[in-house]
Amino acid sequence: MIALLRAVAGLIVWAVAFSAIYGAQGLVCARGWQDVAIGPVGLGRALLIALWLAFCAVLGRMTWRLRCAWHGGVFLDRLAAASAVVGLISTVYTGLPVVATAVCR
Amino acid sequence: MKALRLHRQFEAIWGTPPGWRGALTTVNHSTLGKRLMLTAFGFFLIGGVLAMLIRAQLATPHSAFVGPAIFNQLFTMHGSIMMFLFAIPMFEGFTIYMLPKLLGTRDFAFPRLTAYGWWCYLFGGSLLILAMLLGVAPDAGWFMYTPLSSKPYSPGINADFWLLGITFVEISAIVTAADIVVTILKLRAPGMSLDKMPLFAWYMLVTAMMMLIGFPPLILGSVLLELERAFDWPFFDATRGGDALLWQHLFWLFGHPEVYIIFLPAAGVVSTILPVMARTRILGYGWIVGAILALGFLSFGLWVHHMFAVGIPHMALAFFSAASTLVAVPTGVQIFAWIGTLWSGRPQMRLPMLYLLGFFFVFVMGGLTGVMVAVVPFDWQAHDTAFVTAHLHYVLVGGFVFPMLAGAYYWLGHLIGRQRQYTLGVTAFWLIFIGFNMTFFLMHVVGLLGQPRRIETYPEGLGWTGYNLLSSVGSFVLAFGIALFIIDLSLQFFHAPRTRRNPWGATTLEWAMMLPSPSYNIASIPNVDDRDPLAARPALALELARGEGYLGEPRHGWRETLAVETASGRLDHIVVLPGNTSLPIWTAAVTGAFFVAMLLGLYWIAPVPLIGVAVLGWRWAAVLGRRTDIGPLPLGGGETAVTHWEARDPPGWWGSVFVLLADATFFGSLLFGYAYLWTVAPGWPPPRLMAGSLIEPALGVIGAGLAVVGARAATRRLARDGEGHSGMAGAGLALLFGALLATALLRAPAPTGHAYHAVIAVMIGYALFHVGVALLIQIFVHRRGRAGYLSARRSAERRIATLWTDYGAASGVIVLLATHLPGLVA
């Protein structure tokens, strides 16, 4: 059972990342943090980018640590490696809007 | 002769007795699966007739066929019936019938629960049809948006029929999902590790997990809306701190995964049939499993794409647009794996293959328009037009109905023992294919020309008239095709010759038995060491029938099957399943009584059936169990194993785990709703927060701590001394219950004043319910111990009680903190 959970760990981290970033975006706009400037970006966007990069880093580390599992013989380990890669790509792609789009409009 | 003797002995144990008594008490998965499929098909035809009425109305401008009030009922019921009463129950029925056979086992993990799910579906579905026959069918769209579905704009009983009837059916879906997950994880043939499982089982594992996580938000939304309609608790009323968008979030949190829940089992059917039609093995088993898992998770990140036009910020639009385009990738991986399989094989154009080709054509087109509407600027043009209607029918009919029809022809011999390909069937396919495309392709065009959805008529002179007329003609062609399909199947049922045991030359285990399948599936259970078990051992069916596998000799009148370790498939223990009983139908009837009482507005009576369900639930558990240890038993092949009563990891424990997972999702959705309203809804913070106190939370934390520690202490004592009592756990739960009750009676404001008050009331009610259930379970297990049903080896019941105690304690503490802290902090 734990092996199954490990096999989808990367996808679970994506789910947490997506929820956290979307939830944080709602909080940022409700609290008006986007209006506080930190250099060229608002506080809100900075927070969102930080969250996004943090999750990308976690998934990057997972992908790196599981890089040998691709060639191993255990099916669930290969799934774990695939899950980490998919989680990483998904987090990068679905979180990318934090960089460029309007936060609260 | 041994095979015949075994067959008679097993039939005597597993069979359904004749007559009414047998029909009402059976828990046999083959019988229940067939009933579900037939009933679901019946609902499909009803939904289809409703579609015909819609198309008859829209064939010409200003048609006098039906007025707007009836038209609203038509499209609401068409959608609701197709989504809730046809699609889900159809694949559930197929899974209930076929999954144990594919896994090489004899029944589901919880046969009585399977029966309960069937009766809940029948009763709940009947409620909706009753509404239609009485002329008060739901009429606010299958997605029931607030505020249209709130009391001021939908004062009649129509919306209540939807909310209560659908919730009743969804209970059936959730318990079936838990049943499916536990069966796939635990009840496989020994040797069938996860990577040797048939692909359909992987598809159903992911689908069932999605159901456990995806359905609770809808149930929560339905509960909240019904509370608003019945008692004026303002969750969705913006004048009192509610938000109509909360409904949309909760609904689509369910609604998007729902369509993948519908698609995945059909894709599983494709993955099963396609390699057989191509006379080769599937290409890319591992890739497909990875794609299914990715799809299962990613599909939960799409829901707001149904809300692109509500006015949310650019960034949020982009999140969901990105996720919606991304999800096409794992879908595409499966498509390419299937194309690769066809390429590497020698496909034969038998009737199932025709429907699979129809699936490819139609579903891929639907997927392409899906990527189109995933792009926000395009969606802003197409939203609420017939373009979206065309898209959703392409993916749902292409992605579910075509594989369903392929499956019907592929497994017909399995179900009825007869099959033959008549030209009538081929004609039916072409009429369905041409009729479908004629009906819905033109809808893309007329949608882009501006025709909205859900309008009962349209004016002349906009250029829509010709398209609508052709669409309606196409719908009749489609209907003729379905009619020919029914005639074809009926002809086969009455006239086709008996089939060989494995007419398609397939390699999966469902073909390793006589056709039609007996009530016990297989007279002995195989040891599996290959993804295609029949490829290496073509005579497996005969070996199993002669009892040469595991459990090849019936004993004690027991219904036995085997449980395995989850990942490796190593043999773990023997499971003795419950037999026929009237508990499921009684429990479903009493559950239904609760929903009917709510529907009729008899709110003061409604708690009585709930108590009835608790009493029946007690009995449900009380009829199981043993008073003595029996140790390991032989199971054939010189091996022995303990029975599930003494196993470390019995199915019952896992069943509680997954039901609690669904429960936790419900709770999580409630907390999400609380946070959402606080952050986004107008009128927050509320004029007065609940006066928080330190007393109730402190008492509650102490109580929760006692409960959790006490439950574990009792389990340890049971393992050590063979006995334990629930004193500490019970006291702790009672204390927690009291703290929650005190909060409700002394602190919480009246729920009708503000959404904040209403949410507090629901949270406290939720926690009270779960602490109460945990307390009841601890009392039950205490009495079981006194009566001799527990021992150091027979400890599962106590460990299950610990699960529910932990959950009650956690939810109680979280609710106490969530209700008291804001007032204390302010």
> What distance in Å separates the CA atoms of residue B281 and residue B346, rounded to the nearest whole number?
11
The answer to the question of residue B522 being in a domain is no
Note the Cα B614 to chain centre separation in Å. Answer: 23
Mean pLDDT in residue range B540-558: 94
The answer to the question of residue B505 being in a domain is no
Reduced to 3 DSSP states, what percent helix, strand and coil does chain B have, rounded to the nearest 5? 70, 5, 30
The answer to the question of residue B403 being in a domain is yes
Same domain, B543 and B637: no
Q: What is the pLDDT of residue A1?
A: 81
What residues of chain B lie within 8 A of the CB of A41, using their CB? none
Same domain, B119 and B268: yes
Quick one: pLDDT band at residue B1, thresholds 50, 70, 90?
A: confident
A interface with B, Cβ–Cβ below 8 Å: 1, 3-4, 7-8, 11-12, 14-15, 18, 21-23, 25-27, 29-30, 48, 75-76, 78-79, 82-83, 86, 90, 93-98, 101-105
Three-state DSSP state, B310: coil
Q: Pick the closest to residue B726 from B812, B628, B799, B627 (CA basis).
A: B799
Instruction: Give how many domains chain A has, as a whole number.
Output: 1
> What distance in Å separates the CA atoms of residue B592 and residue B598, rounded to the nearest whole number?
10
Contacts 24+ apart (CB under 8 A), B123-126: B123/B168, B123/B588, B123/B589, B123/B591, B123/B592, B124/B165, B124/B166, B124/B167, B124/B168, B124/B169, B124/B171, B124/B172, B124/B592, B124/B595, B125/B39, B125/B43, B125/B85, B125/B89, B125/B165, B125/B169
Mean pLDDT in residue range A24-31: 93
The answer to the question of residue B580 being in a domain is no
Q: Render pLDDT for B733-766 as a digit per residue (tens, 0 to 9).
A: 999 999 999 999 999 999 999 999 999 999 999 9
Residue B394 has pLDDT above 90, yes or no: yes
Largest Cα span, chain A: 53
- Residue positions counted in chain A: 105
Between the CA of residue B628 and those of B537, B620, B650, what are the distances in Å?
40, 20, 17
Quick one: pLDDT band at residue B826, thresholds 50, 70, 90?
A: confident
Same domain, B9 and B110: no
Q: What is the pLDDT of residue B547?
A: 94
Q: What is the pLDDT of residue B194?
A: 96
Mean pLDDT in residue range A42-59: 96
Residues 6 or more apart whose CB falls under 8 angstroms from that of B167 comprise B124, B219, B222, B223, B226, B595
The DSSP line for B504-534 is: T---SGGGSS-SSPPTTS-SSBPP--SSSHH
The answer to the question of residue A105 being in a domain is no
Is residue B226 within 8 A of residue B598, CB to CB? The reply is yes
Only one residue has tokens 């939370």, namely: B697
The answer to the question of residue A104 being in a domain is no
Same domain, B641 and B545: no
Q: Tell me the residue range of the domain where A85 lies.
A: 2-99
Same domain, B555 and B474: no
The answer to the question of residue B506 being in a domain is no
> What distance in Å separates the CA atoms of residue B19 and residue B74, rounded to the nearest whole number?
38
Same domain, B469 and B593: no
Residue that finishes a domain, picked among B495, B526, B553: B495
What residues of chain A lie within 8 A of the CB of B290, using their CB? 79, 82-83, 86
Q: Render pLDDT for B351-385 as a digit per residue (tens, 0 to 9).
A: 999 999 999 999 999 999 999 999 999 999 999 99
Both tokens assigned to B595:
């929903």
Residue B647 has pLDDT above 90, yes or no: yes
Mean pLDDT in residue range B275-285: 96
> What distance in Å separates the CA atoms of residue A28 and residue A36, rounded to the nearest whole number?
10
B290 and A98: CB-CB below 8 Å? no
Q: What is the pLDDT of residue B458?
A: 96
Q: What is the pLDDT of residue B734?
A: 97
Residue A73 has pLDDT above 80, yes or no: no
C-alpha dihedral, B319 to B325 to B331 to B335, nearest 10°: -170
Q: What is the pLDDT of residue A70?
A: 86
What residues of chain A lie within 8 A of the CB of B293, using their CB? 7-8, 11, 79, 83
Same domain, B649 and B791: yes
Q: In this prediction, what percent of chain B has a pLDDT beyond 70?
A: 100
Q: What is the pLDDT of residue A2?
A: 86
Looking at residue B235, its amino acid is: F
Between the CA of residue B734 and those of B664, B797, B799, what are the distances in Å?
21, 20, 19
Is residue B730 within 8 A of residue B778, CB to CB? The reply is yes
Least confident of B321-330, B333-342, B679-688: B679-688
What residues of chain B lie within 8 A of the CB of A79, using their CB? 286, 289-290, 293
The DSSP line for B690-747 is: ----SHHHHHHHHHHHHHHHHHHHHHHHHHHHS----HHHHHHHHHHHHHHHHIIIII
Residue that finishes a domain, picked among B480, B495, B510: B495
Q: Render pLDDT for B18-51 as a digit per residue (tens, 0 to 9).
A: 999 999 999 999 999 999 999 999 999 999 999 9
Residues 6 or more apart whose CB falls under 8 angstroms from that of B267 comprise B203, B292, B334, B399, B403
B326 and A94: CB-CB below 8 Å? yes
Residue B715 has pLDDT above 90, yes or no: yes
> What distance in Å separates the CA atoms of residue B691 and residue B21, rounded to the nearest whole number?
57
Contacts 24+ apart (CB under 8 A), A71-76: A75/B193, A75/B194, A75/B195, A75/B286, A76/A3, A76/A4, A76/A6, A76/A7, A76/B194, A76/B195, A76/B567
Instruction: Give how many domains chain B has, as a whole number.
Output: 3
Q: What is the pLDDT of residue B524?
A: 96
Residues 6 or more apart whose CB falls under 8 angstroms from that of B421 comprise B350, B351, B409
Quick one: pLDDT band at residue A3, thresholds 50, 70, 90?
A: confident
Gyration radius of chain A over CA positions: 16
B313 and A104: CB-CB below 8 Å? yes
Same domain, B185 and B304: yes
Quick one: pLDDT band at residue B722, thresholds 50, 70, 90?
A: confident
Quick one: pLDDT band at residue A71, thresholds 50, 70, 90?
A: confident
> What distance in Å separates the CA atoms of residue B193 and residue B285, rounded to the nearest whole number?
14
> What distance in Å separates the CA atoms of residue B450 and residue A63, rounded to the nearest whole number?
47
Reduced to 3 DSSP states, what percent helix, strand and coil does chain A have, rounded to the nearest 5? 80, 5, 15
Phi, psi of B108 (to 5 degrees): -75, 170
B313 and A76: CB-CB below 8 Å? no
Same domain, B88 and B119: yes
The predicted model scores a pTM of: 0.97
CA distance A40 to chain B (A): 18
| Substitution target from B206, B292, B315 for chain A, most A beta carbons within 10 A | B315
Other beta carbons less than 10 A from residue B238's beta carbon: 16
Peptide bond into B686 cis (omega under 30): no
Between these two residues, B523 and A2, which has the higher pLDDT value? B523
B315 and A103: CB-CB below 8 Å? yes
Q: Tell me the residue range of the domain where B4 lies.
A: 1-16+538-563
The answer to the question of residue B571 being in a domain is no
Average pLDDT, chain B: 96
B194 and A75: CB-CB below 8 Å? yes
B252 CB burial (10 A radius; 0-12, 13-18, 19+): buried
The answer to the question of residue B9 being in a domain is yes
Mean pLDDT in residue range B804-818: 97
The answer to the question of residue B24 being in a domain is yes
The answer to the question of residue A86 being in a domain is yes
Quick one: pLDDT band at residue B396, thresholds 50, 70, 90?
A: very high
Is residue B782 within 8 A of residue B726, CB to CB? The reply is yes
The interface pTM score, or ipTM, of the predicted complex is: 0.97
Mean pLDDT in residue range B328-344: 97
Average pLDDT, chain A: 94
Q: What is the pLDDT of residue B275?
A: 97
Is residue B401 within 8 A of residue B47, CB to CB? The reply is no
Q: HEC string of B350-367?
A: CHHHHHHHHHHHHHHHHH
> What distance in Å separates the CA atoms of residue B361 and residue B477, rounded to the nearest whole number?
18
B194 and A8: CB-CB below 8 Å? no
Peptide bond into B685 cis (omega under 30): yes
Same domain, B111 and B194: yes
Residue B724 has pLDDT above 90, yes or no: no
